[in-house]
Chain A
Amino acid sequence: MKLLVTGGAGFIGSNYVRWVLANTDDEVTVYDALTYAGNLSTLAQVAEDHPSRYRFVHANICDMAAFAAAAEGHDAVLHFAAESHVDRSIAGPEDFVVTNCVGTNAVMHACRQLGVERVVHISTDEVYGSVEEGDSLESDPLEPRSPYSASKAGSDLIALSYHTTYGLPVTVTRSSNNFGPWQYPEKVIPLFATNLLDGLKVPLYGDGLNRRDWLFVADNCRAVDTVLRQGEAGQIYNIGAANELSNRELTERLLALAGAGPDRIEYVEDRLGHDRRYSVDTTKVRALGWAPTHSLDRALEETFAWYRENRWWWEPLKSAVPR
């Protein structure tokens, strides 16, 4: 199969590209705009290891003509490309609406015109909004509260409308918080890990009691691939690992991995409109035969070790992060 992966130089996209090249015979085209969060250094080794099965196209998803030219001849499109950092969306929502909504429409429109046989739209559990108790189901109403999650909810609806209206075989995945190697050091786990490795404090929002489910990126990649090959067109699949932690508990685990004490925590003013809790019901994706295989502790340990051993990758990015 020939796959095109948008956002393939970003965190989850690049992990998926690495996973699919290692575990299948598929050919992969990465289509990426290389914004601040997408870097060719992430894929340098991939290009070297798979010269015949890997190709890179540098372009923006909003450029419909460029996307259609790149996607021609592909059997499936996995649409990972998105603006994804909530804090950035609060500071400047416009890029989020353009990339996530307008960009998704361009991808879906081109896929429809090309007759792509399978489109997976990658989304987030944040579209359900904050849930105090229980789990969000795929059919629950969308109550996104940040510009980021609102733009993702919009993109989900655009993608699904191409299935309902035109019969484009779209599936949607909504995963909980991903973590693992190659995650840009603005997100909480790589930010905290790299701060701790540099002897700095870690900034914890509010009372630190916001709760998230943590999903190791390799488990998410397998889930996305399962949905690609077995999911039913028009369906949404939640992906989660039932590893629910408060941000404070998560921080304590990272402190333990770094051998650091609680004095390294710096409580900072809470994020505006900070959702209290996300949690998803994963019955549907598990019925396709998927289940997470990484324990949270082992995956956190592996991730922390990866950041310790790969300063070459994150140091230049972190020094360039606009604060």
Chain B
Amino acid sequence: MSDAGHHGAHHVAAVVVNYKSRRHLEGCLASLAAAGVARVVVVDNGSDDGSDAVAAAAGATWCPTGANLGYGRAANRGADVLGRDGGLHLLICNPDIEVAPGAVAALVEALERDPALGVVGPRLHNPDGSLYPSARTFPNLLDAVGHGALGLIAPRNRFTRRYRLLDWDHSEPARVDWVSGACFLARRSAWDAVGGFDPAFFMYMEDVDLCWRLGRAGWAVGYEPAAVVVHTQGVSADQHPYRMLAAHHRSMWLFARRSSAGPRRLALPVVGVGLVARLAVASARRFAFPAGPRGRRPLA
């Protein structure tokens, strides 16, 4: 990697939230080290697979939580461990990601270029090189219902396309509503101002909620395609598929309730019934197609 690729990365401290992901953790930590990330904390939600040895070998701080706290609370714990001297910026990531050369520096540059950004997310690739739509909109009620009802059976329906910004080529930096929590860089002051992730969200939607709250607090969210990160989806979640489906739907309900004000609150009972029905369909599909109907884990 060129010297320019290291620019700014030493201002970054990373929090990797791990749950029985030793096999991927090694690659993740190696990629962070290669990117010049100054400090790494691995917050562990109860792994017994030798992840601790992998973290130690990589020189990362091992921080076992003693229980499965979920993603957001564990990330908050990591940020707390890093404290104020952890650097100007905080990279929050899953253990099943690998940052490409120059990715962290590109994220730092994006934050430094635009002081209004509280969080910036990279371009996420699936392991096969295809784009993962990691920057999305806050869905309006119609898109949420359309995506929720049709997303499982027709992933390219127009509601899902709008919600996931699928008609956008993702090649230019942009301000977006929210970016995936699988990997993003947060400005430490913005992260502290909103108290990090809301611990009420166990798994899923904590990223949507974080970006939504950042927006209410006056921060913007950015997408930076010059930063490429490869993400192997759902390594941790696949170990408890039904529990994760339930957690996902619970989180959707929490966010729907929280983000509906005024007359939109009247639609909440319908949203609640819809989410229960969707959970039933998703669980049945998972039972019938454990690896997904086309050999891939279905996206939620």
- Taking a contact as CB atoms closer than 8 A, the residue among A139, A281, A287 that contacts B194 in the complex is A139
Whether, in the assembled complex, A141 has its beta carbon less than 8 Å from a beta carbon of chain B, the answer is yes
- Taking a contact as CB atoms closer than 8 A, the residue among A135, A137, A232, A236 that contacts B73 in the complex is A232
- Whether A284 touches B198, Cβ cut-off 8 Å, given contacts A135-B258, A139-B217, A164-B192, is yes
Residue from A138, A141, A167, A287 with most neighbouring chain B CB atoms (10 Å): A287
Tell me the nearest residue of chain B to A232, going by C-beta: B199
For chain B, the count of residues having a C-beta within 8 Å of the partner chain is 22
Whether, in the assembled complex, A113 has its beta carbon less than 8 Å from a beta carbon of chain B, the answer is no
Whole-angstrom distance from the CB of A163 to the nearest CB of chain B?
A: 9
Which residues of A, 122-143, contact B by the 8 Å Cβ criterion? 133-135, 137-141
B216 touches A283 (CB 8 A): no
Residues of A with C-beta under 8 A to B112? none
- A234 and B82 CA atoms in complex are apart in Å by 14
Residues of A with C-beta under 8 A to B198? 138-139, 283-284
Residues of A with C-beta under 8 A to B83? 167
Whole-angstrom distance from the CB of B120 to the nearest CB of chain A?
A: 19
A283 touches B258 (CB 8 A): yes
- The digit string for B170-214, where 1 denotes a CB below 8 A from any CB of A, is 000000000000000000000011110011100000000000011
- The digit string for A218-240, where 1 denotes a CB below 8 A from any CB of B, is 00000000000000111110000
- A6 and B258 CA atoms in complex are apart in Å by 33
Residues of B with C-beta under 8 A to A133? 261-262
A134 touches B262 (CB 8 A): yes
Residues of A with C-beta under 8 A to B262? 133-134
- Taking a contact as CB atoms closer than 8 A, the residue among A139, A140, A233, A283 that contacts B200 in the complex is A283
Number of residue pairs A-B, CB distance < 8 angstroms:
50
Whole-angstrom distance from the CB of A273 to the nearest CB of chain B?
A: 23
- A234 and B96 CA atoms in complex are apart in Å by 29
Residue from B200, B214, B217 with most neighbouring chain A CB atoms (10 Å): B200
By secondary structure, the A interface counts as: loop
Whole-angstrom distance from the CB of A127 to the nearest CB of chain B?
A: 14
Residues of B with C-beta under 8 A to A319? none
- Taking a contact as CB atoms closer than 8 A, the residue among B80, B213, B254, B258 that contacts A234 in the complex is B80
B213 touches A137 (CB 8 A): yes
- A277 and B88 CA atoms in complex are apart in Å by 37
B254 touches A165 (CB 8 A): no
Residues of A with C-beta under 8 A to B261? 133-135
B200 touches A137 (CB 8 A): no
- The digit string for A195-237, where 1 denotes a CB below 8 A from any CB of B, is 0000000000000000000000000000000000000111110
- Taking a contact as CB atoms closer than 8 A, the residue among B76, B84, B216, B257 that contacts A139 in the complex is B216
Residues of B with C-beta under 8 A to A264? none
Whether, in the assembled complex, A145 has its beta carbon less than 8 Å from a beta carbon of chain B, the answer is no
- A134 and B254 CA atoms in complex are apart in Å by 14
B199 touches A284 (CB 8 A): yes
- A139 and B72 CA atoms in complex are apart in Å by 15
Whether, in the assembled complex, A308 has its beta carbon less than 8 Å from a beta carbon of chain B, the answer is no
- Taking a contact as CB atoms closer than 8 A, the residue among B73, B193, B254 that contacts A283 in the complex is B254
- A25 and B80 CA atoms in complex are apart in Å by 31
B258 touches A281 (CB 8 A): yes
- A235 and B76 CA atoms in complex are apart in Å by 10
Whole-angstrom distance from the CB of A112 to the nearest CB of chain B?
A: 15
- A52 and B213 CA atoms in complex are apart in Å by 47
Extra inter-chain contacts (11) besides given A137-B216, A234-B195, CB under 8 Å: A137-B213, A137-B258, A138-B198, A139-B193, A139-B213, A139-B214, A140-B217, A164-B84, A283-B254, A283-B257, A287-B199
**What 3 A-B pairs are tightest by C-beta distance, nearest first?**
A134-B261, A287-B200, A139-B194
Jot down 10 A-B pairs with beta carbons below 8 A, ordered by A: A133-B262, A135-B258, A138-B198, A139-B195, A164-B84, A236-B195, A283-B198, A283-B254, A284-B199, A287-B200
